[in-house]
């Protein structure tokens, strides 16, 4: 029974639309995955050398075992945030004459085969083969690997349980974060030397392989937690969780003054606020605004001024680019309505441009703080703003008319490759890099001060030519309209 | 109001729609029936400029719909869920569509009062996003939104489907009470309802107009039932 369930799960994976994204993208992703895998295997192989160099007095195995304490804590936190229980998968089976406990065993067993759980193996296996087996022998090596895996599995099952119990309450997350950081901190301060305890425990397992049964027993206990929770709660109504009542918003009064375009900005803001994927992507973009901080040191050298500018430009363009790669595709689920009802395309696109204005002004204000660190950042930030508004925004708006894959904004952004096709790589990257290329050219010809000034002026010209450029973009949209409507009929 | 001439839509070799001539006058209550795959949704999509015809043009008030957006000012439509914004509440959605037609929130609220019975207390002040509502309620929202903005032409694709019996009857009454100048195009699988509401019924089969029944409501239902049950030959 569990075997046929697993087979079906395998079929679901293989037939998922994940693989239908075109050969080019799959090859690129495959190469990327291989590259990363090779890197980690390499790192794992030389782990003992790394550890030896950083902590020379202690044995690398002991050091690594100590580090496991921190990875265990981090893993628990990570799972608390990101792990989700695939209970939806078993809904069709609940009606069939299948024993429920078998379904739960299947779900929990399947949850083990996850990248996050198997990842430690990539790191650990080369290390153990190189170091542990030579010093302690094969049996001890096996015991050690088992114990390490048990850490991951323990987190796996406990993570499910915690997630279900606390169900994303922000206070719970914050509380958990503080608690786990506190434990880690107390360890570094030697008040609660848990990492030493971990180190000793693992060394003991190596000396006495039978002790590895203890972690295994712990995992079995941890397994019981989600299993029992499932058994008492696997009803369709309990599983989904009761959704709280939501209130309608009145909208932002200031936007009403912008006319219909303002209403579209409101629609976009509501979309970002109420859908997981755009919200997560933009939160990430906020983090990236701190990126130029690391480039400030290059300001000393006049030659590398362009590097700082490029860092800042890319950081400030990122919110536009990341949201803009699906600018029209976000609305794929109701695109028909937008095309069939009285939606003037000019107001529609203007709304998106005003949204970008919002992003850029916010980024500008935040980046002005860099001016406190170094006054020369101010012209960089100003020119970045002008370039974003006068050049890049238009490019992204234009390229969005080629968003020919539907996208479901409700799904989580994590590991979400929906809507990403060759077009993303080929078209959005030029949007990013065109201003960069222009800047490099200008800098080469005119030197960085004038290069920056000319770039800024091009941006101003772009802003002044708003009307005709938008009209060209709207014409492009009405040309692409039928292809987009057709493309969005696909199931997301 | 609507004039179709030599209108066809082909997907490769498959003919989805092939209409030689069809005219719909203002104020007509027009019903479109046919089995699945007959071309009903294709016809509506062409009327709303959502797909391009293979041959021919759709004329709305003597202007081709593909040439200008003027028809959007007086046309309301609801085809399927792709006309609804899932992450909004019904009120937000109605306000959004309303402002497209120059209605402010209080205008919209006033307009929605006629739907109180139809909504049965489940739509307004529901506290839910549209994506979490039942199919029937989603349909009700779409139908109400199609009528926002005082359109002169309303296109509804299978409005009776997914509605419970009381709602179906209320919808029938709603449509009957619409202003007589309003042209209404409805497609349906429900022969009984569509014959009660529409004076003119057009039968589509494999993209072609098989019957065009005008102004004979008494016999229309029998004629349709005879056609669909016995597949009697086209006269």
> B132–A341: do the CB atoms touch at under 8 Å?
no
A58 interfacial to chain B (CB closer than 8 Å): no
> B96–A263: do the CB atoms touch at under 8 Å?
yes
Span A11-24, pLDDT tens digits: 776 666 556 556 67
Q: ipTM, 2 decimals?
A: 0.90
Most confident of A64-73, A173-182, B56-65: B56-65
A333 contacts in chain B (CB < 8 Å): 81-82, 85-86
The Cα B27–Cα B180 span in angstroms is 6
- Residue A299 has a pLDDT of 64
- Residue A169 has a pLDDT of 60
Q: How confident is the model at residue A168 (pLDDT cuts 50, 70, 90)?
A: low
- pTM, rounded to two decimals: 0.77
Judged by average pLDDT, the poorest of A307-316, A334-343, B72-81 is: A307-316
Q: Which B-chain residues 140-179 have CB contacts (< 8 A) with chain A?
A: 149
pLDDT(A112) > 90? no
Judged by average pLDDT, the poorest of A69-73, A192-196, A377-381 is: A192-196
- Residue B45 has a pLDDT of 94
Residue of B nearest to A272 (CA): B87
Report whether B19 contacts B4 (CB < 8 A): yes
pLDDT(B187) > 60? yes
Shortest distance, CA B175 to any CA of chain A (angstroms): 20
pLDDT(A422) > 80? no
- Residue A143 has a pLDDT of 80
Q: How confident is the model at residue A426 (pLDDT cuts 50, 70, 90)?
A: low
Task: Extract the tokens encoding A461.
Answer: 């010209």
pLDDT(A135) > 60? yes
The number of beta carbons lying within 10 Å of the beta carbon of residue A172 is 15
Q: How confident is the model at residue A300 (pLDDT cuts 50, 70, 90)?
A: low
Q: How confident is the model at residue A416 (pLDDT cuts 50, 70, 90)?
A: low
Q: What is the mean pLDDT of residues B21-46?
A: 91
B87 contacts in chain A (CB < 8 Å): 270-271, 274-275, 409-410
- Residue B95 has a pLDDT of 94
pLDDT(A288) > 50? yes
Q: How confident is the model at residue A173 (pLDDT cuts 50, 70, 90)?
A: low
- Residue A239 has a pLDDT of 45
The Cα B223–Cα B232 span in angstroms is 10
Q: Which A-chain residues 329-388 have CB contacts (< 8 A) with chain B?
A: 333-337, 339-345
Span A190-203, pLDDT tens digits: 666 676 777 777 77
Q: How confident is the model at residue A41 (pLDDT cuts 50, 70, 90)?
A: confident
Mean pLDDT over the full length of chain B: 90
Task: Extract the tokens encoding B66.
Answer: 């593909």
Judged by average pLDDT, the poorest of A113-117, A351-355, A362-366, B197-201 is: A113-117
Q: What is the mean pLDDT of residues B29-53?
A: 92
Most confident of A60-74, A95-109, A160-174, A324-338: A324-338
Share of chain A above pLDDT 70, in %: 80
Task: Extract the tokens encoding B135.
Answer: 């199919």
Q: How confident is the model at residue B101 (pLDDT cuts 50, 70, 90)?
A: very high
A274 interfacial to chain B (CB closer than 8 Å): yes
Chain A / chain B CB contacts < 8 angstroms: 88
- Residue A100 has a pLDDT of 79
- Residue B235 has a pLDDT of 45
Residue B112 zone, left/alpha/beta (φ > 0; ψ -120 to 50; rest)? alpha
pLDDT(B191) > 50? yes
A339 contacts in chain B (CB < 8 Å): 48-50
Residues in chain A: 492
Mean pLDDT over the full length of chain A: 79
Judged by average pLDDT, the poorest of A51-60, A122-131, A236-245, A474-483 is: A236-245
């Amino acid at each position: 029974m569990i075997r046929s369930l697993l087979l079906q799960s395998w079929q679901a994976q293989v037939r998922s639309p994940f693989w239908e994204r075109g050969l080019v993208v799959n090859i690129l992703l495959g190469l990327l995955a291989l590259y990363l895998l090779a890197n980690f295997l390499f790192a794992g192989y030389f782990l003992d050398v790394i550890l030896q160099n950083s902590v020379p007095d202690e044995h690398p195995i002991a050091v690594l075992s100590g580090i496991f304490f921190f990875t265990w804590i981090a893993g628990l936190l990570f799972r608390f945030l990101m792990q989700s229980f695939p209970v939806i998968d078993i809904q069709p089976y609940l009606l069939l004459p299948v024993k429920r406990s078998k379904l739960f065993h299947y779900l929990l067993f399947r949850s083990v085969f996850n990248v996050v759980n198997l990842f430690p193996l990539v790191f650990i296996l080369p290390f153990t083969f190189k170091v542990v087996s030579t010093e302690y022998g094969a049996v001890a090596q096996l015991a050690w690997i088992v114990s390490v895996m048990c850490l991951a599995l323990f987190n796996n099952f406990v993570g499910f349980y915690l997630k279900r119990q606390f169900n994303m309450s922000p206070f719970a997350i914050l509380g958990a974060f503080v608690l786990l950081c506190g434990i880690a901190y107390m360890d570094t301060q030697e008040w609660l030397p848990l990492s030493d305890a971990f180190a000793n425990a693992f060394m003991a397992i190596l000396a006495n392989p039978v002790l590895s049964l203890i972690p295994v027993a712990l995992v079995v206990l941890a397994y019981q937690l989600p299993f029992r929770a499932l058994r008492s709660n696997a009803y369709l109504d309990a599983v989904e969780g009761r959704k709280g009542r939501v209130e309608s918003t009145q909208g932002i009064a200031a936007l009403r003054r912008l006319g219909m375009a303002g209403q579209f900005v409101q629609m976009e803001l509501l979309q970002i606020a109420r859908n997981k994927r755009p919200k997560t992507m933009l939160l990430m973009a906020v983090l990236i605004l701190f990126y130029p901080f690391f480039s400030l040191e290059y300001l000393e050298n006049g030659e590398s001024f362009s590097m700082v500018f490029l860092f800042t430009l890319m950081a400030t363009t990122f919110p536009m680019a990341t949201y803009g790669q699906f600018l029209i595709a976000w609305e794929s689920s109701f695109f028909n309505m937008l095309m069939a009802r009285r939606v003037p395309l000019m107001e529609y696109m203007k709304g998106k441009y005003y949204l970008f204005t919002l992003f850029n002004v916010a980024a500008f204000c935040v980046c002005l703080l860099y001016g406190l660190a170094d006054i020369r950042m101010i012209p960089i930030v100003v020119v970045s703003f002008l370039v974003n508004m006068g050049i890049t925004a238009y490019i992204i708006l234009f390229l969005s008319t080629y968003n020919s894959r539907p996208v479901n904004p409700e799904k989580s952004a994590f590991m979400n490759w929906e809507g990403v096709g060759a077009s993303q790589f080929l078209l959005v990257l030029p949007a990013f890099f065109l201003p960069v290329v222009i800047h490099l050219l200008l800098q080469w010809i005119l030197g960085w001060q004038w290069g920056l000034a000319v770039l800024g002026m091009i941006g101003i010209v772009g802003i002044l030519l708003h009307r005709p450029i938008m009209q060209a973009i709207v014409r492009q949209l009405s040309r692409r309209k039928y292809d987009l409507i057709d493309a969005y009929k696909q199931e997301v | 109001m609507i004039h179709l001439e030599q209108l066809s839509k082909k997907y490769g070799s498959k003919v989805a729609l092939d209409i030689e001539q069809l005219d719909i006058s203002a104020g007509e209550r027009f019903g479109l029936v046919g089995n699945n795959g007959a071309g009903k949704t294709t016809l509506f999509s062409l009327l709303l400029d959502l797909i391009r015809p293979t041959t021919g043009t759709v004329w709305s008030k003597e202007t081709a719909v593909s040439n200008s957006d003027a028809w959007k000012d007086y046309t309301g439509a609801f085809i399927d869920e792709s006309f609804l914004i899932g992450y909004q509440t019904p009120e937000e959605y109605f306000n959004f569509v309303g402002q497209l037609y120059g209605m402010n929130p209080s205008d919209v609220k006033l307009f929605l009062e006629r739907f109180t019975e139809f909504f049965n207390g489940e739509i307004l002040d529901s506290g839910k996003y549209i994506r979490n509502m039942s199919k029937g309620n989603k349909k009700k929202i779409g139908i109400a939104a199609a009528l926002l903005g005082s359109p002169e032409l309303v296109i509804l694709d299978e409005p009776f489907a997914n509605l419970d019996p009381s709602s179906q009857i209320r919808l029938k009454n709603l449509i009957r009470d619409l202003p007589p100048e309003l042209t209404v195009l409805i497609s349906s699988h429900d022969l009984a309802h569509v014959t009660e509401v529409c004076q003119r019924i057009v039968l589509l089969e494999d993209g072609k107009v098989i019957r065009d029944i005008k102004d004979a409501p008494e016999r229309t239902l029998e004629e349709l039932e005879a056609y669909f049950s016995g597949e009697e030959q086209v006269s």
